[in-house]
Chain A
Amino acid sequence: MLIGHFNYWIVVVLMMIGLYIVIAHGNLIKKIVGLVIFQTSVFIFYISMAKVDGGTAPILADDISQYSNPLPHVLILTAIVVGIATTALALSLVVRIKEEYGSIEEQKIQSQDNLSQDKLSQENLSQDNKILVNQSQINQYQTSQAQENQIQEYQQDGKHR
């Protein structure tokens, strides 16, 4: 009785292998490989469900009455090609990450991100400080100039009188 479910067990085992790779490995390429294995397990799931005892491939012929289920075949046929296209997209993302960060290890990328973020916020802080300093200097300068002007005006007034 339990033997009837062995196809699902294979699917589950494959799926879990894929999931483990995705979770446990920091290398982005390995993660993609894990996703591909996961994806294939879903393909196998569909195709094994489509199998019918005593059926043949779903191409109509005269002396055959029992066919396998064609619908999952259609779904998976397109899914395989879509899968390779999306995998290529993921790989290209990884390649760009490698170019920008020089690494495809998740932790290194994270630490670099943190570093750059810290730097950025520090720069912002220091810039703010500079602006503040400049403002106060300008204020001081302006007030001193105004005082000087006033003094000069008084002096000039005094001379005229």
Chain B
Amino acid sequence: MLLGIYGLLSAIFFVAMDAVDVAFTEAAVGAGISSLLMLVAITMTGRNENTTRHKPISALFIVIITGGLLLYGTFDMPYFGAVEASINSHVVPRYINDSMQEIGIPNIVTSVLASYRAFDTFGEVVVIFTAGIGVLALLSVGRRPKDDDKIASINDSMSEQYLVVRIVTKMLIPFIMLFALYVQFHGDFGPGGGFQAGVIFAAAIILYAMLFGLSTANKVINQTFIELMAALGVLLYGCVGIVSLLNGGNFFDFNVLSNDPIAGQHLGIILIELGVGCTVASVMILIFFNFAGRKELQNNNSNKNEESC
């Protein structure tokens, strides 16, 4: 819970630092999904901690020494907000001055993310996809038994208790999804893009799954379909790069996608953001479903044990 507040606070901090795109992501991820996952994991592993620590004095000693050295290192760093800092030279003036002519998109963050550094972003997307596969491999519950009517009825009775929340959520979910789509396709002009949109879209589905039970959510959106979408997003992203290779450009050189370089850039960025959004949304949903499915399995097992006892 505190971590959620921490995430929201750092999002506010990022707005103050003029990093609106980052703030957007942090607000969706840090304040929403990450604290949720943390809570699920804590309920699964128990909330009690052993009070014995490993030698806190020596740990503190190491930490103080490292911190002191780092503080000493900061004396050579440029001042906060300095214009002439070395980080602001090299490629950055080109991004700021020429990106309008070269890419034709007002949001510099998006044009750097999706065009100048598209290869880098491709790597990130693959990392997310791999993490999703990892969670699937570790926590996958296998095929659900067909005759879990009893569990479903328990879920129904649980969700019927929160009538107000359910109805409000039902009304909200379409708007959350609409907002996600807006963020997805408006990322060229304002803050937003595939990463944020994916997380917001996933949040809508997760909200639904939390209130109406996992089995209901699984009926609405099939897990196999989500797995397919996760792979499809990465595939779409990679294919855009390969198409630009086939058209005679470099990997992820969008200028050759169309007769007009600017139009080609637009097309490439939209497709890439779509791929990113697909992968991020489906991996997030996949992670949540697997955590929740595991939790349900544990509950069922403990119930069975109690009955047999």
Contacts and interface: CB of A to CB of B under 8 A. Distances in A.
B25 A96 contact: no
Given A12-B71, A77-B195, A26 B52 contact: yes
A72 B91 CA distance: 12
B111 to A, nearest CB: 8
Nearest to A50: B19
Interface string B21-39: 1100110011001100110
B70 A12 contact: yes
A26 B20 CA distance: 37
A15 B74 CA distance: 14
B274 to A, nearest CB: 16
Contacts, number: 248
B131 interface: yes
Interface string A118-140: 00000000000000000000000
A67 B108 contact: yes
A13 B67 contact: yes
Chain A at the B interface: SS class: helix
A56 B128 CA distance: 30
B22 to A, nearest CB: 5
Contacts of A5: 74-75, 77, 79-80
Interface string A39-60: 0100110011111111111111
A70 B63 contact: no
A82 interface: yes
Interface residues of B, number: 92
Given A81-B195, A85-B128, A91-B38, A26 B53 contact: yes
B83 A53 contact: yes
B260 interface: no
A26 B135 contact: no
Given A12-B70, A59-B107, A77-B21, A85 B131 contact: yes
Given A27-B49, A73-B19, A9 B3 contact: no
Interface residues of A, number: 77
Of B13, B45, B199, B287, most A-chain CB atoms within 10 Å: B45
26 contacts: A7-B80, A16-B64, A20-B60, A23-B54, A24-B56, A29-B41, A47-B13, A50-B19, A50-B87, A51-B80, A51-B81, A53-B81, A55-B18, A57-B20, A68-B18, A70-B96, A70-B109, A71-B112, A77-B25, A81-B280, A82-B127, A83-B29, A89-B131, A93-B138, A95-B41, A104-B46
The 9 A-B pairs of least Cβ separation, nearest first, read: A4-B79, A85-B131, A8-B74, A53-B81, A68-B18, A91-B41, A24-B59, A16-B67, A78-B124
Given A26-B50, A92-B134, 14 more contacts: A8-B74, A23-B59, A52-B83, A58-B107, A70-B96, A78-B195, A80-B25, A81-B195, A81-B280, A84-B33, A88-B131, A91-B37, A91-B40, A107-B54
Interface of B: 3, 6, 10, 13-14, 17-22, 25-26, 29-30, 33-34, 37-38, 40-42, 44-46, 49-50, 52-56, 59-60, 62-64, 66-67, 70-71, 74-75, 77-83, 85, 87-88, 91-92, 95-96, 99-100, 106-109, 112-113, 117, 120-121, 124, 127-128, 131-132, 134-135, 138-139, 189-191, 193, 195, 198-199, 280, 283-284, 287, 290-291, 294, 298
